[in-house]
Amino acid sequence: MKRSVKGLLLLFVVAFCCLALIESNAQDMPVPPLIQSRYFKKVFAYNKSLPKDGIKIVVVYTDASANMKDDMVEAFSAVGMNASAVKVGQLAAGGVGANVIYVLPGVDIKPVKEFCRTNSIMSATGFPKWVKDGDISVGIDAVNDVPKVIINTDRLKTEKQDAADLMRLR
């Protein structure tokens, strides 16, 4: 009897932690996916390193952010962009041919940074902290509940992106 109570309690604690992690990831992205995708479409138009049409976006996720992955892929597709998703561990194969790597919260950022640098691919996120920390090139934040584009120029240079026109968005 004691084992089943302990097991049930352990299961409850694990389930609570998983829900808290998923909820905290959603809160880390202050702008909803569809609004992000609309802003990113405009941002990408200012980057001369990206094709005018047919931008391919790969959304990188983990098991914890799998539910957000579908929302982001659908949001990018809804505004006419070609989007797919890949787990972070499969980025080397799944990211081939991408023009933009969009990173969800909870992903180990180190391999993504290296992949984008090595392959001259623009990085983007809805998790503003990574842009402010210099890990991602472009993000969308909310200031007074209004979406705001944030840009890390050093990271753009590292990813070999033509950032001259992007500076007009700051």
Q: Average pLDDT, stretch 19-45?
A: 76
Instruction: Report the pLDDT value the prediction gives residue 23, as an integer from 0 to 100.
Output: 38
Instruction: Report the pLDDT value the prediction gives residue 3, as an integer from 0 to 100.
Output: 55
Instruction: Report the pLDDT value the prediction gives residue 168, as an integer from 0 to 100.
Output: 66
* pTM score over 0.85: no
Spatial CB neighbours of 88, under 8 Å, sequence gap ≥ 6: 60, 61, 62, 107, 108, 111, 112
Give the domains, in start order, of the chain with CATH numbers: 2-169 (3.40.50.2300)
Q: Which residues pair with 85 in a beta bridge?
A: 59
Structure tokens at 105: 């919260």
State yes or no: pLDDT of 155 exceeds 70.
yes
H helix or E strand, kind and range, residue 143: strand 138-143
